[in-house]
Amino acid sequence: MMAMKKILEQEPSEIEMLLPWHATGTLNARDAKRVEDALASDPDLARQYAAIQEEYAETIGLNESLGAPSARAMTKLFAAIDGEPARKASMSLNITSRFSGFFARLSPRTLAWSASFGALALLLQAGVIGAVLMKNQPASFETASLSTDGPITRSLGPEAPRALVRFAPDARVADINALLDNYQASIVDAHGGMFRLQFGTRAMSKEDIATLMNKLKGEKIVNLAVATP
């Protein structure tokens, strides 16, 4: 009986098991509310949640410290892709033959009607795209093409400090803007609910970065801040 009781005591509760996903903000609204309510009324759970937030921050820190792969991996990949033209060629040949077979089976009248409908559809599509572009056209734009000339990894020279930051769910845009201004920070990247911030334009010493992170963690609207390379 005692052994059974001990086993039951060791079994984690459903809410307890959901805590890590609550920390990362990946729970649905219903579960998030359940966890929040439980956290508000259970100090043990809140203590465990604090430990989880530490684990969360350090896991990000550890992974970010792993760096990036060298350009060798990319060169190897694209060389391998270049070495596979036969499959692509045969596939396109197959598609071409299927298309020509399909059209060959159509009567001249059907083919003529299909061509007319196709031309009309193209004109309509061009009109719609044109209208959307005119409506949403920004002042300028740039293409998102990726050049193979430059290295895909970052340079290792001294750079302005960066950190991954998660803001509190109730943080307002105005508060975030004020924080960015106070810290002379800018958002350089975003993934899920995490933002990568860059602070100023100059490199800092390790001690200064640690002080900066501690200050940032103390901000009311910041849930998590981890320095990253």
Partner 1 sequence: MQVLYGRHHVRVFRFGLRLVRDEQIAEDLISEVFLDVWRQAGKFEGRSAVSTWLLAITRFKALSALRRRKDVELDDEAANAIEDDSDDPEVTAQKKDTSQALRKCLSVLSPEHREIVDLVYYHEKSVEEVAEIVGIPENTVKTRLFYARKKLAELLKSAGVERGWP
Per CB under 8 A, residues contacting partner 1 are: 12, 14, 16-18, 20-21, 23-27, 47-48, 50-52, 54-56, 58-63, 65-66, 68-70, 72-74, 76-78, 80-81, 84, 87, 144, 146, 148, 152, 191-194
How far is Cα 166 from Cα 5, in angstroms, rounded to an integer?
40
Cβ closer to partner 1: 179 or 226?
226
As measured in angstroms, the least distance from the Cβ of 82 to partner 1 is 11
Cβ closer to partner 1: 40 or 71?
71
Helices (H), the chain: 2-10, 14-24, 29-41, 43-64, 71-82, 85-105, 108-136, 173-182, 206-217
As measured in angstroms, the least distance from the Cβ of 77 to partner 1 is 4
How far is Cα 20 from Cα 1, in angstroms, rounded to an integer?
32
As measured in angstroms, the least distance from the Cβ of 137 to partner 1 is 23
Cβ closer to partner 1: 118 or 151?
151
Query: Collapsing DSSP states into helix, strand and coil, what is residue 174?
Result: helix
Cβ closer to partner 1: 222 or 226?
226
Cβ closer to partner 1: 21 or 180?
21
Q: Are 25 and 167 in contact (CB under 8 A)?
A: no
Cβ atoms < 10 Å from Cβ of 219: 17
Question: How far is Cα of residue 63 from the mean position of the Cα atoms in its chain?
Answer: 15
As measured in angstroms, the least distance from the Cβ of 151 to partner 1 is 12
As measured in angstroms, the least distance from the Cβ of 191 to partner 1 is 7
Sheet containing strand 222-228, strands side by side = 185-191, 194-199, 162-167, 222-228
